[in-house]
Structure 1
């Protein structure tokens, strides 16, 4: 199956932690106006609940992810400091 380029660059949350080279976890990704689940692979193990960014699609509903913090979340926190 061809890779799913629409999911690359999308943020998600791990429903099941990844195990690095030992196996995938599962990620819920915000894509196409909703949320979809994918098998998630990462270079290093990541815990359940980690915020991740999809960096590559392997096709057949499998993606490579990295741990990621949305920089816009940090800006939203700074808005309360103005004044």
Structure 2
């Protein structure tokens, strides 16, 4: 099956943690106006509930992911924009 280019760059949440080279987990990705699940592979184990970024599609509903921290979350937590 051909890679799904649309999923690359999407963020998601692990519903089953990954085990690094020992095996995949499962990620729920916000895509195409909804949510879809994919088998998720990562270089290092990532826990259930981790926010991830899809960096590659392997086809057959399998993706490579890395841990993701939304940079806008850091801005929201620094007090910027709050009236004082």
Fold-level match, TM-score > 0.5? yes
Higher-Rg structure is: 2
1: CA distance between counterparts of 2:32 and 2:75? 25
| 1:6 to 2:6 alignment | yes
Between 1:68-77 and 1:8-17, the stretch displaced more is 68-77
**1:78 deviation in Å?**
3.5
**1:36 deviation in Å?**
0.4
**1:74 deviation in Å?**
1.9
2: CA distance between counterparts of 1:56 and 1:41? 10
The unaligned stretches of length 5 or more in structure 1 are none
After TM superposition, the score normalised by the length of structure 1 is 0.92
User: 1:1-83 counterparts in 2 under 5 A?
Assistant: 1-78=1-78, 82-83=82-83
**1:76 deviation in Å?**
2.7
Aligned CA RMSD, in angstroms, stands at 1.4
2: CA distance between counterparts of 1:14 and 1:62? 13
SS in 1 for 2:73: helix
The unaligned stretches of length 5 or more in structure 2 are none
Residues 15-53 of structure 1: CA deviation (Å, up to 9, x unaligned): 000000000000000111111000000000000000000
**1:77 deviation in Å?**
2.8
